Structure 1
C-alpha cells in the first residue's frame, strides 16, 4: 500500500468515526442535538431567517446527519471519494461557521444543567475539515 493510500484511509476513518458516531445523537433527537439546533434556530430569527428557523430546529439534525452519512459513503468508494470529501467539507464548513459566528460558540452547552463540552465538538469539526480537504486534494484526479 502506498503512503498516499494509507494517509487517505486514515483520514477517511477519522471522518467516518466523527460523522457516524454523531448519527445516534442526531437521529434520536438527543438533548445535545436539540440544544444545538434550537440555539442556531433562535439565532436565525435574529438575522432575518425566522421563516426557516422552526424547520431547522425540528429537522436540521436529520438533514445534517443524513448528509454526513452520504458523504461518508461516498468517501469510502474510490470512484466517488472526491465528491464525498467535497460534500463533507461543505457540511463541516457550515458547522464551523455556526460555532464561530452564532451564539452556539466553541465551548457549547450540552445539557439543561449548563454543562459544556470544553470545545471538543468544535475541535473535532476542525479536524474533519482538514481531513476532508486533504482527502479531496489527494483524490481529486480520481473523479
Structure 2
C-alpha cells in the first residue's frame, strides 16, 4: 500500500502530462482538427456577441489554451521531484481549470463530444485529465492547503489570519506575531 501511495501521484501526473503534451502538436501547428474545434467555438461565441473569443488571436485561442496545458504539464512533471510536490499540486489545479472548460464546452456548446469524428476520443481524453487532476488535487490537498496558508499570511493584513492555524514549522516565530 505504501508503494501505491508513493507511485500513484506520479502515474497520475504522467498520464495528464502525456495527454496535454500530445495535444500540443495539434494546437501549436494549427492542425485542421484544431481549426474545426476552435472555429465551432468561435462561431458559437459570435452568436452572442463575443466574436473572436476563440479565434487565433482571441482570449481563449488554441495558443492560449495550449500554453496553459504546457504550463500545467511542466508543473506536473517537475513536481515528481520530492522537493517540488507543491508545484505538482499547482499543476493539478491548472489542469483541472483547463479541462473543466474543455469538458463543459464539449457538453454545453455546439462543439459536442465528437467534433472531429474520432468516436469521442478527444472528449474521453479531456475527461481522463479532468478526473486525474481531481485525484491529484485530493492526494496533494495538504500541499495546496500549505500554499493557501502561505498566501493568506503573505497577502492578508496582520491580525486577520490566526497565527496558530497558519504557522509553518520552519518559519521564524516573529513571522506569525
TM beyond 0.5: yes
1:2-21 aligned within 5 A: 2-21=3-22
Cα deviation 1:97-119 (Å, max 9, x = unaligned): 1100111100112xxxxxx1110
Q: Secondary structure at the match of 2:113?
A: coil
**Selected match of 2:56 from 51, 55, 58:** 58
CA distance in structure 1 between the partners assigned to 2:56 and 2:108 by the alignment: 21
In structure 1, list runs of 5 or more residues that go unmatched.
110-115
CA distance in structure 1 between the partners assigned to 2:104 and 2:50 by the alignment: 16
Q: Could you state the TM-score of these two structures normalised by the residue count of structure 1?
A: 0.88
Q: CA deviation at 1:5?
A: 2.3
1:64-83 aligned within 5 A: 64-76=65-77, 77=79, 78-83=85-90
Q: Secondary structure at the match of 2:112?
A: coil
Is residue 86–residue 132 contact of structure 1 (8 Å, CA) maintained in 2? yes
* Aligned-pair Cα RMSD in Å: 1.3
CA distance in structure 2 between the partners assigned to 1:15 and 1:41 by the alignment: 26
Aligned to 1:39: 40
Runs of 4+ more than 2 Å apart: none
Aligned to 1:25: 26
Aligned to 2:130: 129
Is residue 85–residue 133 contact of structure 1 (8 Å, CA) maintained in 2? yes
Aligned to 1:95: 102
Larger RCO, structures 1/2 (Cα 8 Å, 6+ apart)? 1
CA distance in structure 2 between the partners assigned to 1:71 and 1:44 by the alignment: 26
In structure 2, list runs of 5 or more residues that go unmatched.
80-84, 148-177
**Greater per-residue helix proportion:** 1
